Amino acid sequence: MLNVDVCIIGAGPAGITAAIDCTKMGSTVVLLDEQPSAGGQIYRSIKKTGHVLGEILGPDYLYGAKLVSEVESAGVQHIAEAKVWRVDEDKKVFWSCRGKAQQLQAKRIIIATGALERSFAFPGWTLPGVMMAGASQVLLKTSGLAPKQAVMVGTGPLLYLLAVQLIKTGNPPIAIVDTQAPKQYIQASRYWANAIKGRKYIYKGINLLLQIKKAGVKHYHRATDICADGVDKVESLSFTCAGKKVVLDAQTILSHIGVVPNVQLTRALELDHSWDPLQRCWRPTLDEHYNTSLSGVAVAGDNSGIGGALVAEYQGHLVACEALYSLDKITKDEWQKSTKSLKQQIKQELVIRPFLDALYTPPKQALTPVDKTIICRCEEVTAGDIRQYGRNSSYGINQIKSFSRCGMGPCQGRYCGQTAAEIIADEANIAVSKVGYFRIRYPIKPLKLGELASLTPIDKSFIQQYKDQGQ
């Protein structure tokens, strides 16, 4: 079996940075990632030389070229198209690459699995043609595809960034149906001091909104009762705005209400998690150096709590520092000096978050959708189904999962777990943090029997041993 000092899971800004630092300082490193090239979703498809649509995607995206070029020049052992499906407490890591399973033994593990878009479950969101805004951005980065006359729905910085990128491609969305409620400005104003300190993000945001306005994109505000309709694919989006019902023809609907940490692996490892009331999500419980509740396992990037690409990079440096110190590759002085300044940089960069989190909270409709809304896309479980079980407060979330099959499909609750918890909390009138979360079990990605069998070479198999013994 392959033995390494550090195994890093996820090749976004956090994972890349940690891998570069650890490799440069003489540790043996394996960087595992599902996608064909390094960069994560934020720097998806970026090359050393940039991107053919660099001007459209913008300078914050092109910045990533530096990171992917360093991964190559530092000689990081990067295994692409690797789906990690199990990590054991003794730091064995299992993954599959093109149908063949493999494993390694690491001394340290860095989990940098990034974020997932928060589900915006509204009636009709399962129809073909309704996608997440992030999906549209991936299509632009990977294949240069832009939707014609998309309708965008939801709220949050990514929605506005994508709108501007689409405008620049010459395919502006026909409308933005904004779910942001006026009270969110009041709530966010509590964090005005943070906004002033993090004003570079405010300027960026205002600039995006101005460009949307200048392009003449219809911007509906305070939309409620969002619903997509169609037979075999989406045909329209309806909503209520200023007391009136509006119906828009739509072949492509892009939804977005923020991102949440991807805790699938840290949950499967049964690490401690804490509820973040402001970001309204679970995140792994970490010490000040991003170590988890399991010794030798650290977390960096958006899966430690949403902070964005730059924060992820600093966190990548920080967890690399921890790993290198524990492996005796750097001295205590070097460790102290580096971690101190990195923690400071992370703190500075995170200062804007409370303001943004309060400004772009998910709309009520997404937290407690109407009964007919499908919550679990895989098993087609509705909000009404969950509500029915949620009324009986003696049921825990994992019992409700078993009764309803919510979260038992191939996505393993990635896109329904949070919504189910919110509905149960609302129905039983308890805090979401008390509801808890689905118990996540291995393998965390569907695994074919043949893939599992491929872990054992044929000459080492039980059958072969029996044959050798002449039985």
Q: 10 and 301 in contact (C-beta within 8 Å)?
A: yes
Kindly state the smallest distance separating residue 401's Cβ from another protein, in Å.
16
Nearer to another protein, 121 or 358 (CB): 121
Query: Could you tell me the smallest distance in angstroms from the CB atom of residue 210 to another protein?
Result: 23
CB of 169 to another protein, least distance (A): 5
Footprint on this chain of another protein (rule: CB under 8 A) = 34-36, 41, 52-53, 56, 81, 83, 116-117, 126-132, 134-136, 138-140, 142-149, 169-171, 232-233, 251-252, 262, 377-380, 409-411, 414-415, 446
Closest CB to another protein among residues 85, 325: 85
Nearest to 73 by CA among 104, 44, 38: 38
- The nearest distance, CB 251 to another protein, in angstroms, is 4
Alpha-carbon distance of 259 to 281, in angstroms, equals 9
**Residue 209 and residue 41: Cα distance in Å, rounded?**
23
Rounded least distance, CB 228 to another protein, Å = 12
Tokens 């044959």 correspond to 467
Phi, psi of 254, rounded to the nearest 5 degrees: -115, 115
Which is nearer to another protein, 359 or 378 (by Cβ)?
Answer: 378
> Of 161 and 195, which CB lies nearer to another protein in the complex structure?
161
Distance CA 198, CA 17 (A): 23
Cα torsion at 34, 37, 41, 46 (round to 10°)?
180
Residue 94 Cβ vs another protein, minimum distance, rounded to whole Å: 17
Name the 3-class secondary structure at 48: coil
- Measured CA to CA, the distance from residue 381 to residue 400 in angstroms comes to 11
Among residues 179 and 252, whose Cβ is nearest to another protein?
252
Complex with another protein: residue 131 or 152, whichever CB lies closer: 131
Contacts of 365 (CB under 8 A, 6+ apart): 122, 179, 224, 225, 226
